[in-house]
Amino acid sequence: MSTPTSQEHRRVYQVAEINKIARVTLENELGEIWIEGELSEVKKWPSGHVYFSLKDKEAVLRSVFFKGEQRGLNFELRDGNKVQALGQLTIYEPKGQYQFVVRRMEPAGRGSLQEAFEELKKKLAAAGLFDAARKKPLPMLPRRIGIVTSPSGAAIRDILNILTRRFPNLYVLIAPVKVQGEGAAAEIAAAMDLLNARGGLDVLIVGRGGGSLEDLWAFNEEVVARALARSGLPVISAVGHETDFTISDFVADLRAPTPSAAAELVVREKADFEKALQQLATRLTRGLRQRALEWKNRLLKAERSEVFREPRNLARQYRQRIEALRTGLGREVRHLLQRRQQRLDEMGLRFRQYALVWRDARRQDLRRLTASLQALSPDAVLERGFSITRRADGRILRDAADVASGEKISTRLHRGVVESKVVKGGEHGGEKS
């Protein structure tokens, strides 16, 4: 216990004082130093400041490169780049955060991830996986679309929103996978193989939202590249942001800069198709009318000539045949438009049926899970004939050796509680009153 005298001589610091002392000590002790590491989690803010981490195999150092210090920087700061940075270790006092403030930066060779990326890219290019000749064209109007991505990420929500808005009666099949971390690449490749083997699809979208080089690395794995190359279905790679490039982008049949862009590329808006059909029908009708008018004028001219003045009946017959052809072609155009509209309506019905089946399946899964949880509840266990015995202090009794003769215990059954008194306790059990 502190004495009054010791309390009078106690030096009590404020948090801000400690942070300031730590900052000044750190800055004065080391001064400006060079640090080598690999760039990670690079983020450039609208202010121009760049925040990132310098890392090696064993540690990570949070760092900042202010806009005013970036004069003379002649290369782009990207995840995976290996650099040497001159700066000062300091502490951001308001939050007590330890960081490295960069004054100057130079490239120091490629980082390990970037080197692995370039090596695999060179290997697959030599194997012909990037050749334009092997890339498959996308269908003009895919009816069934498979999507390989995380079921909980923003990418799937963006894709489904755009597909629903553009063409609401499409059939969409989602293969849920991990998109980063251990085992993600194998899951992605297996999902593509599964959708190809399943059949019934017209095109695949494979991807995820943005992230650091490490976050996107599953799409730089050879197992994913090989799965893309052997896919019998055309595949759109939709990984990260517009500035992100992965091995998958080079192997896939088409690269989309973002998942949202993939949805826009895979299918045009329904209104665009309807407008195009209407324009074709209008052009066809106009052309038919023009041709009919030309033939009519030629016949009228021939009718007025000396040669055809007598056989007026022949000219009349030709005129009737032209009118019949024009009427028949107009009917065919209407039938064509009706068949197209019927096909669009059937696609919408199939999509709604799929949504109902999916919803019912989820409800059944929820009911089964609820029943399983109820079967594992404490009340259900007690109902099957088990009981719980507690000591007087409320602790659960697990071993007969833990009680002594004369000690009171209570046993909870499914219905009610039995109070008991131990007559004899022991290591192998005891008698109770």
* pLDDT > 90? residue 174: yes
| DSSP letter string, 75-125 | S---TTEEEEEEEEEEEETTTTEEEEEEEEEEEEEE-HHHHHHHHHHHHHH
Q: Average the pLDDT over 80-105 and give the result.
A: 88
Domain ranges in the chain are 8-110, 115-266, 270-374, 383-432
CATH homologous superfamily, domain 115-266: Succinyl-CoA synthetase domains (3.40.50.261)
Are 340 and 277 in contact by the 8 Å Cβ rule? The answer is yes
Q: What is the pLDDT of residue 188?
A: 96
Question: What gap in Å lies between CA 211 and CA 157, rounded to an integer?
Answer: 17
- Among 64-73, 115-124, 291-300, 348-357, the least confident range: 348-357
* pLDDT > 80? residue 271: no
Are 408 and 419 in contact by the 8 Å Cβ rule? The answer is yes
Question: What gap in Å lies between CA 432 and CA 430, rounded to an integer?
Answer: 6
Q: Average the pLDDT over 153-177 and give the result.
A: 90
Percentage of the residues of the chain whose pLDDT score is greater than 70: 91
Contacts of 154 (CB under 8 A, 6+ apart): 209, 259
* pLDDT > 70? residue 87: yes
Q: Average the pLDDT over 276-295 and give the result.
A: 85
* pLDDT > 70? residue 309: no
H-type helices in 253-306, by residue range? 259-266, 270-304
Q: What is the pLDDT of residue 86?
A: 92
Are 63 and 53 in contact by the 8 Å Cβ rule? The answer is yes
- Among 86-100, 286-300, 414-428, the least confident range: 414-428
Q: What is the pLDDT of residue 231?
A: 95
The residue to which tokens 């000396």 are assigned: 306
* pLDDT > 80? residue 110: no
Q: What is the pLDDT of residue 145?
A: 94
Are 225 and 247 in contact by the 8 Å Cβ rule? The answer is yes
Are 249 and 239 in contact by the 8 Å Cβ rule? The answer is yes
* pLDDT > 60? residue 429: no
Question: What gap in Å lies between CA 271 and CA 268, rounded to an integer?
Answer: 8
Q: Average the pLDDT over 104-114 and give the result.
A: 74
Beta strands 50-55 and 32-44, pairing class: antiparallel
Most confident stretch, 15-19, 74-78, 91-95, 251-255:
251-255
Question: What gap in Å lies between CA 260 and CA 159, rounded to an integer?
Answer: 5
Q: What is the pLDDT of residue 8?
A: 65
CATH homologous superfamily, domain 8-110: Nucleic acid-binding proteins (2.40.50.140)
Amino acid at the residue 213: L
Residue 172: pLDDT band (50, 70, 90) is very high
* pLDDT > 70? residue 308: no
C-alpha distances out from residue 172 to 139, 167, 209, 414, Å: 15, 11, 19, 50
* pLDDT > 70? residue 141: yes
* pLDDT > 90? residue 293: no
Q: What is the pLDDT of residue 97?
A: 86
Residue 314: pLDDT band (50, 70, 90) is low
Question: What gap in Å lies between CA 328 and CA 142, rounded to an integer?
Answer: 32
Contacts of 84 (CB under 8 A, 6+ apart): 34, 35, 36, 105, 106, 107, 108
- Among 2-16, 129-143, 232-246, 275-289, the least confident range: 2-16
Q: What is the pLDDT of residue 270?
A: 58
Stated pTM of the model: 0.47
Tokens of 35: 């640090």
* pLDDT > 70? residue 306: no
Are 399 and 405 in contact by the 8 Å Cβ rule? The answer is no
Most confident stretch, 13-17, 198-202, 289-293:
198-202
Residue 137: pLDDT band (50, 70, 90) is very high
Residue among 267, 192, 260, 180 at smallest CA distance from 219: 180
* pLDDT > 90? residue 62: yes
Residue among 216, 214, 215 at smallest CA distance from 237: 216
Q: What are phi and psi of 301, to 5 degrees?
A: -65, -45
Residue 131: pLDDT band (50, 70, 90) is very high
> Which of residues 72 and 234 earns the better pLDDT score?
234
- Among 62-76, 243-257, 320-334, the least confident range: 320-334
Most confident stretch, 68-82, 210-224, 382-396:
210-224
